[in-house]
C-alpha cells in the first residue's frame, strides 16, 4: 500500500501535489476556525441568556406576595409579559412547588441555591424531542408578609439551539463550496505558475549539441522561476561558448596537423620520383625529422592542454625557489641566445619558496624564454627579473624584440593564436625549440591558472615585450 502510494507520488504532477497540500491545509484551518467560532458563539448565547434570565428573575421578584403563609404571584401586566418568554416557578423553602406560570415541563434543580443550572438533553433516541433548559434560581421574600421561598426562572434552549443549528447549516453549505472554489483556484494558479517550467522543459528537450542556440528568453517577473529561466539561459550561453571553443580547437588542431603531414607527403613524393644518391636521401630524412619533431611537439602540447583542462587541481607539492629555477633555465637557453648574439640579463633577487609543480613551472618559463629568444632579433637583450610583491612572487621576462601590436594583445593567450603565423613558422623551421602553432602562451596561462596565479603582457611595437607572471607564495585552495 505504502509502496503503491510512493509510486503514485512520483507520477502525480507537481501542480496536483501543490493543490492537494494547499487544500489539506485549508480544510484543517477552516475546520479549526469553524469549531472555534461555534464554541465562542454558543458560549456567548448562553451568557446573554443568563443575563436575561437574571433580569427577568429580578423583575418577577417584585410581583410576589403571600396568601395563607404561602408565596404567590401577584396579578400584573409586567408578569404577564414575562410569562410569554420565560417559565416562572415559585417553591417553598423546603422545595414544595407553590406556583407556576409558563411551560409546565420546566425542569427544576434538586438543590436550592442561587445560580444557573443547565439541563442537557439526556443522550438516547427516546429523548430526542425533549428540550434543553437553562434555569436561574434565586431566593425571594414576599414584601407584604416576609414569607420567603425560591424563584426559578427558566427558558428552553430551543431558540439558542436553532440559532446555532442555522449557523451550522450555513457552514455545511459554505464550507464545501469554499473548498471546491479554493481547490479549482489553487489548481489553476499552480498550473499558471508551472507554465514557465513546462516551457523550460520543452526548450531543454529541443536542445542538442548541434543546436545550442535555443533560449527560453523568459520575460516574466524576476521571481524564483524567472531566476531559474535566466540561469538556464546563461548556462546555455556558457555551454554554447564551450562547444564553439572545442569546435574551433578541433578545426585548428586538424589544420595544424595537416600542414607538416602535407609537407612530409610532398617530400616523400619528390624524393621517390627518381633514383637518388644516399646523401640526398639523408638530407630528405633530416628534413622529414624536423616535420616529425613538429608533429610530436604539437601532439604533446595538445595532450598537456587536455590534461590541464581535465585536472584543474594538479598536485602542487614541490617546494620551489623561483630565483634558483630561473637561474638554471637561463643557463640552459644561454647557448640559443648566444647563437643570436642576444644578451641574457639575470636580475634574480632571492624570493620566498613557493609550492607548485616543478615540471609545469619549467614548462611555463621555458615557453616564455623560448618566445623571447625566438622573437628578439640579434644583438637584442632579454632580462629575467624576480621580486616579491605582497603574498606573490613576481617574475618579469622582458625583451627588446619587435613588440606586439595592441590589437593582438587581448587574443595572445587564446588557443592557436599567432600574431604573424608565417613568421613564427619560418623561425620554427630555423631550429627553435618551440613550435609555432600558437599553443605556447595558452599552455603558459593554463599552468599559471592551476597555480592560482596570473599572467599578463605589456608590449608596444618597436619597444619590446614584458611577460609578467605572479604566483602566490601559499597556493589558494
- 412 is a site residue for ligand ADP (CB under 6 A): yes
Contact call for residues 164 and 140 (beta carbons, < 8 A): no
Grid coordinates of 230: 535566466
User: From the list 424, 448, 450, 471, which residue makes contact with ligand ADP (rule: CB under 6 A)?
Assistant: 424
Count, in order, helices (H) and strands (E) of the chain. Answer: 11, 14
- 434 is a site residue for ligand ADP (CB under 6 A): yes
Nearest distance, CB of residue 404 and ligand ADP, angstroms: 5
- 88 is a site residue for ligand ADP (CB under 6 A): no
Contact call for residues 258 and 231 (beta carbons, < 8 A): no
Q: 465 by DSSP, 3-state: which?
A: strand
Q: Which is nearer to ligand ADP, 116 or 417 (CB)?
A: 417
Residues 6+ apart with CB under 8 A from 13: 194
- 400 is a site residue for ligand ADP (CB under 6 A): no
- 375 is a site residue for ligand ADP (CB under 6 A): yes
Nearest distance, CB of residue 408 and ligand ADP, angstroms: 7
Segment lying near ligand ADP (by CB under 6 A), choices 145-153, 208-216, 231-239, 410-418: 410-418
Give the whole-angstrom CA distance, residue 19 versus residue 189: 9
User: From the list 441, 448, 450, 469, which residue makes contact with ligand ADP (rule: CB under 6 A)?
Assistant: 441
Give the whole-angstrom CA distance, residue 306 versus residue 359: 16
Grid coordinates of 433: 625549440
User: From the list 155, 435, 445, 455, which residue makes contact with ligand ADP (rule: CB under 6 A)?
Assistant: 435
- 469 is a site residue for ligand ADP (CB under 6 A): no
The 3-state secondary structure of 383-396, one letter per residue: EEEEEEECCEEEEE
- 465 is a site residue for ligand ADP (CB under 6 A): yes
Nearest distance, CB of residue 337 and ligand ADP, angstroms: 13
R_g of the chain computed on alpha carbons:
51
- 437 is a site residue for ligand ADP (CB under 6 A): yes
**Which backbone phi and psi does 208 adopt, to 5 degrees?**
-140, 180
Segment lying near ligand ADP (by CB under 6 A), choices 51-59, 76-84, 230-238, 416-424: 416-424
Nearest alpha carbon to residue 329 among 423, 416, 433: 433
Nearest distance, CB of residue 438 and ligand ADP, angstroms: 4
Q: Which is nearer to ligand ADP, 53 or 369 (CB)?
A: 369
Nearest distance, CB of residue 351 and ligand ADP, angstroms: 22
Give the whole-angstrom CA distance, residue 111 versus residue 113: 6
Nearest distance, CB of residue 252 and ligand ADP, angstroms: 12
- 401 is a site residue for ligand ADP (CB under 6 A): yes
Give the whole-angstrom CA distance, residue 56 versus residue 74: 15
Instruction: Identify the residue whose cell numbers are 410576589.
Output: 64
Give me the residues paired with residue 456 across strands: 468
Segment lying near ligand ADP (by CB under 6 A), choices 118-126, 181-189, 356-364, 419-427: 419-427
User: From the list 404, 447, 448, 455, which residue makes contact with ligand ADP (rule: CB under 6 A)?
Assistant: 404
User: From the list 294, 363, 418, 451, which residue makes contact with ligand ADP (rule: CB under 6 A)?
Assistant: 418
Helices (H), 340-437: 358-375, 406-409, 421-429
Given the rule CB under 6 A, which residues bind ligand ADP? 367, 371-372, 375, 399, 401, 404, 412, 417-420, 424, 434-442, 465
Amino acid at each position: 500500500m505504502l509502496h503503491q502510494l510512493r509510486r503514485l507520488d512520483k507520477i502525480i504532477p507537481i501542480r496536483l501535489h501543490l493543490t492537494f497540500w494547499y487544500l489539506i491545509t485549508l480544510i484543517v484551518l477552516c475546520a479549526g476556525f469553524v469549531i472555534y467560532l461555534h464554541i465562542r458563539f454558543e458560549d456567548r448565547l448562553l451568557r446573554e441568556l443568563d443575563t436575561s434570565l437574571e433580569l427577568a428573575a429580578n423583575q418577577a421578584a417584585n410581583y410576589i406576595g403571600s396568601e395563607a403563609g404561602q408565596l404567590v404571584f401577584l396579578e400584573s401586566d409586567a408578569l404577564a409579559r414575562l410569562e410569554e418568554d420565560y417559565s416562572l416557578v415559585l417553591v417553598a423553602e423546603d422545595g414544595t412547588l407553590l406556583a407556576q406560570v409558563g411551560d409546565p415541563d420546566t425542569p427544576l434543580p434538586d438543590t436550592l441555591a442561587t445560580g444557573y443550572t443547565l439541563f442537557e438533553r439526556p443522550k438516547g433516541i427516546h429523548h430526542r424531542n425533549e428540550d434543553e433548559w437553562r434555569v436561574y434560581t434565586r431566593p425571594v421574600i414576599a414584601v407584604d408578609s416576609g414569607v420567603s421561598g425560591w424563584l426559578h426562572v427558566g427558558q428552553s434552549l430551543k431558540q439558542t439551539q436553532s440559532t446555532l443549528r442555522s449557523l451550522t447549516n450555513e457552514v455545511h453549505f459554505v464550507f464545501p463550496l469554499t473548498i471546491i472554489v479554493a481547490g479549482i483556484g489553487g489548481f489553476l494558479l499552480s498550473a499558471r505558475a508551472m507554465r514557465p517550467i513546462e516551457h523550460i522543459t520543452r526548450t531543454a528537450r529541443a536542445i542538442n549539441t548541434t543546436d545550442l542556440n535555443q533560449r527560453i528568453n523568459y520575460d516574466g517577473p524576476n521571481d524564483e522561476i524567472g531566476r531559474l529561466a535566466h540561469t538556464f539561459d546563461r548556462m546555455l550561453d556558457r555551454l554554447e561558448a564551450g562547444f564553439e571553443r572545442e569546435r574551433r580547437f578541433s578545426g585548428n588542431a586538424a589544420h595544424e596537423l595537416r600542414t607538416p603531414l602535407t609537407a612530409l607527403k610532398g617530400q616523400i613524393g619528390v624524393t621517390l620520383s627518381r633514383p637518388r644518391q644516399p646523401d640526398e636521401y639523408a638530407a630528405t630524412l633530416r628534413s622529414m625529422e624536423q616535420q616529425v619533431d613538429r608533429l610530436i611537439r604539437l601532439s604533446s602540447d595538445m595532450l598537456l592542454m587536455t590534461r590541464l583542462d581535465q585536472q584543474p587541481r594538479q598536485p602542487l607539492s614541490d617546494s620551489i625557489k623561483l630565483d634558483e629555477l630561473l637561474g638554471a633555465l637561463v643557463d640552459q637557453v644561454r647557448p640559443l641566445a648566444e647563437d643570436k648574439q642576444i644578451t641574457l640579463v639575470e636580475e634574480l633577487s632571492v624570493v620566498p619558496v613557493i609550492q607548485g609543480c616543478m615540471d609545469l613551472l619549467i614548462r611555463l618559463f621555458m615557453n616564455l624564454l623560448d618566445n623571447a629568444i625566438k622573437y628578439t632579433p640579434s644583438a637584442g637583450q632579454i632580462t629575467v627579473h624576480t621580486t616579491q610583491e605582497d603574498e606573490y612572487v613576481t617574475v618579469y621576462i622582458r625583451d627588446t624584440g619587435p613588440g606586439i601590436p595592441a590589437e593582438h594583445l587581448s587574443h595572445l593567450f587564446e588557443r592557436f593564436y599567432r600574431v604573424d603565423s608565417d613568421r613564427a613558422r619560418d623561425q620554427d623551421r630555423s631550429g627553435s625549440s618551440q613550435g609555432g602553432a600558437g599553443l605556447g602562451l595558452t599552455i603558459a596561462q593554463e599552468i599559471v591558472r592551476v597555480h592560482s596565479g596570473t599572467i599578463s603582457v605589456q608590449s608596444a611595437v618597436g619597444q619590446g615585450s614584458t611577460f609578467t607572471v605572479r604566483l602566490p607564495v601559499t597556493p589558494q585552495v
